[in-house]
Amino acid sequence: MARSEELATVGSPILAFISLNRYLTNTLFHFYQFLRTARLSFYGGALFGPAMTTWYSFLNRIEFPSPTKALVYRVWLDQAILTPVPVAFFYGSMSILEGKPEEATSRIKAASVPTIIRNWCVLTDPQWRLLILFRGVYIPTQLINFSIVPPHLRFFTVSVVSWFWSKRLMFCHLTGDS
């Protein structure tokens, strides 16, 4: 099962970038950047996918005295402990994979906290047509994920949501918007 979850993580950035490219340029392959897709696929398949498979396996093994406590603690562990690490790692690794390691630290400092805040908060912003959908996304997702989704499908559920979230991260990375 872990292998299919990792493959789903590879496909998510590919589909997200193709659709984001379509949204930004209004054509499917106009200025399409295959190297960016390769970097994102490598990140998803070799770095993020295996780490998340291990993380969800760990969360699923923890025993809690009640289902309510299990839900609250799993969401808290996922959002408070895990979330800051992959967000910072995404911006740093993209800078390194682009051949700009000198920009990694400044990119992490500039973009990580605003990205995490947008991850946690449900806000409306008429300035952003597309990104309104991606704010405050993971806490509700994880509440549903840890309460009704079977453990073997939790990573897949997050991978589907990550397809949308990847668009948001790529948009911020491409435009320099934090």
107, 88, 117: which is closest to 174 by C-alpha? 107
Q: Are 92 and 108 in contact (CB under 8 A)?
A: yes
Return the minimum-mean-pLDDT range out of 103-107, 144-148, 155-159. Answer: 155-159
pTM of the predicted protein model: 0.68
Structure-token pair, residue 165 = 């979230």
Q: pLDDT tens digits for 108-139?
A: 998 888 878 777 764 444 444 444 444 467 88
Q: How far apart are CA 102 and CA 106, in angstroms?
A: 8
Average pLDDT along the chain? 78
Return the minimum-mean-pLDDT range out of 13-22, 29-38, 70-79, 155-164. Answer: 13-22
Percentage of the chain with pLDDT > 90? 34
Structure-token pair, residue 129 = 């047509």
Q: What number is the average pLDDT over the span 23-40?
A: 68
* 132 DSSP assignment: G
Q: How far apart are CA 76 and CA 83, in angstroms?
A: 10
Phi, psi of 11, deg, nearest 5: -70, -30
Phi, psi of 15, deg, nearest 5: -65, -40
Q: How far apart are CA 168 and CA 8, in angstroms?
A: 18
